Amino acid sequence: MNYRAPHIITEGAINYELGSLKGREIRYDFEKILFYLDAKGKLLFGRKFKIYKEDREILYKLSLYFIRDRDRCKQFGIDVDKGLLLSGPVGCGKTSLMKLFKYMVPHQRPYEVIPSRNIVFGFNHLGYKIIGDYGNSQSFCFDDLGVEPQGVHFGKECNVMGEILLSRYELFTEHKLKTHTTTNLNAQELEDRYGNRVRSRMRQLFNLIAFDKGTGDKRK
């Protein structure tokens, strides 16, 4: 990676310029960002990956967030210092986009995308150590939040992801450490799943960016 030109990303022998450098300021070009995301998406997920025209608004908001364009983010009610809660129907592309966008800003702190159900399976096997493991100073994106099973360790039930979100909230308030999530659930369903206390913390942890409810399943 070229730290002097973080807007230029090299994939193999190809350089992708996501914008231009004016002094110390990068002026990003949305069309060039889309071109890069399409190319990187095909490298990550195969030739069938594509950028859909109907997703342009979502992609624009995500681009503004990841390049930390505070002024334009403010117009959309997005706080660049908070994490993302990307919601939408099954198969709309949430997970792929969260895996993809981190490559667009290699100079920023990376995050790991972890399926929520895998974390619960880890809890069932290892117990409360898992909650501590994900309440540490790493950055994560918890994928498919809300559809994971209830955790059970030695017969004792635990709302594992709810507990982890409370830990992540403390990390955010004390150290400004971001957490991201994807979910198929709406706000009321999340509150039903995790309770009012966790839902209240989630409002402070996350910017909500949502696909339209009618977005089709791209995996079909």
Domain count, the chain: 1
Terminus-to-terminus CA distance in the chain, angstroms? 36
Residue 127 is part of which domain span? 8-210
Specify if 176 maps to a domain. yes
- 220 within domain boundaries: no
CA 66, 67, 73, 74 torsion: positive or negative?
A: positive
Residue 215 inside a domain? The answer is no
CA-based radius of gyration for the chain: 18
Task: Assess if residue 3 is contained within a domain.
Answer: no
CA–CA dist 78, 83 (Å, integer) = 10
Q: What is the pLDDT of residues 73-97, one digit of tens each?
A: 999 999 999 999 999 999 899 999 9
Dihedrals φ, ψ of 183, to 5°? -155, 150
Please write the tens of the pLDDT for every residue from 94-142.
Answer: 999 999 999 999 888 899 999 999 999 999 999 999 999 998 889 999 9
> Could you tell me the CATH number of the domain that includes residue 21?
3.40.50.300
